Chain A
Amino acid sequence: DVKVTQSSRYLVKRTGEKVFLECVQDMDHENMFWYRQDPGLGLRLIYFSYDVKMKEKGDIPEGYSVSREKKERFSLILESASTNQTSMYLCASRLTSGGSRAGELFFGEGSRLTVL
């Protein structure tokens, strides 16, 4: 089974702090994603990565950056946390972008971030 592990389930940070959210997958997947989930808005894509050192902006990249130095690891960085970044953050991975199962993402359990 694919396992996507997010390093922190719950975090509480102060406004202005730098925040790192780490995600590791164990199935050699090429593609990795960061989403945030907010009530009434569903899952919104922040950033995604096709491969090591490659990244592309999603729908809401402002205030975030990412790093993918190794294939199995995809990090989300909040350079200066703000209260409107309080949310549930979900990491996901996918084997490849092609084929009928290309939409199947494997998600981690989520990291709930509260910014005070």
Chain B
Amino acid sequence: DQQVKQNSPSLSVQEGRISILNCDYTNSMFDYFLWYKKYPAEGPTFLISISSIKDKNEDGRFTVFLNKSAKHLSLHIVPSQPGDSAVYFCAARLYGNKLVFGAGTILRVKS
């Protein structure tokens, strides 16, 4: 039972354009949502998070939007850069402790 789903295995975007990565969840008890980025041969690194009581959080080129009624969140990267090419994992925190991860989306930014 996957509680966090990333339905797009991959996404290809032109440099300078917007990248939108999507994530759906099923459990209403999640209190925080996070995005991690992973380069090949490296561990994931934290990118940005959002509390379940907010609908938007912005950090530089990265913005996360949360739609609680739809149980959907998205990560926007504007403008996209070739160095953003990586695997992006959506994660949700349960009961203040455990993180549940999605399957990941491979982002390729073409120059």
Contacts and interface: CB of A to CB of B under 8 A. Distances in A.
Interface in A31-85: 35, 40-45, 48, 58
Contacts of A24: none
Interface residues of A, number: 25
B93 interface: yes
Given A43-B89, A103-B49, A90 B43 contact: yes
B43 A103 contact: no
Given A40-B9, A42-B89, A42-B104, A103 B99 contact: yes
Interface residues of B, number: 26
A105 B32 contact: no
A103 B92 CA distance: 8
Interface string B46-71: 10010100000000000000000000
Given A42-B89, A42-B102, A103-B32, A97 B46 contact: no
Given A90-B43, A109-B41, A109-B43, A43 B97 contact: no
B93 A4 contact: no
A106 B34 CA distance: 13
B46 A105 contact: yes
B7 to A, nearest CB: 12
Interface string A89-106: 010100001101111111
A76 to B, nearest CB: 15
A44 B100 CA distance: 7
A4 B49 CA distance: 21
9 contacts: A42-B89, A43-B91, A43-B101, A90-B43, A97-B96, A102-B93, A103-B32, A106-B46, A107-B45
Interface of B: 4, 6, 9, 32, 34, 36, 41-46, 49, 51, 89, 91, 93, 96-104
Given A90-B44, A101-B49, 10 more contacts: A40-B103, A43-B44, A44-B101, A92-B43, A97-B97, A100-B51, A102-B96, A103-B93, A107-B44, A108-B43
